[in-house]
Amino acid sequence: MAIRVYVTEWCGACKATLPQIRAAANKLGVKTEVVDVDRCKPGLEDRCSRVEFVPHIEYNGREVSLEQLKGMAGKR
């Protein structure tokens, strides 16, 4: 299980939410992978090309909002 967050370097909202996402990941006991869609890692190019907005958060491969993620973390 992991949280993958798609971001861009120029995204202010991405920078503002990453600490909250990382805190939720810590509570859930999972790792956070940050992927810059402008510099996509090999093997993720197809997924990066389908990201419509940033920050885009996935938990276990499923898109979730920051509020949903925080809610899941709060239940732990």
Residue 11, φ and ψ in degrees, nearest 5: -85, 110
Hey, what domains does the chain have and what are their CATH numbers? 2-74 (3.40.30.10)
Strands in 56-59's sheet, in edge-to-edge order, are 31-36, 2-7, 56-59, 62-64
Is the pLDDT reported for residue 20 higher than 90?
Answer: yes
> Which pLDDT value is given to residue 72?
92
Q: Tens digit of pLDDT for each residue in 54-75? A: 999 999 989 999 999 999 998 8
pTM: 0.90
> Which pLDDT value is given to residue 9?
94
* Nearest by Cα to 63 from 46, 47, 76: 47
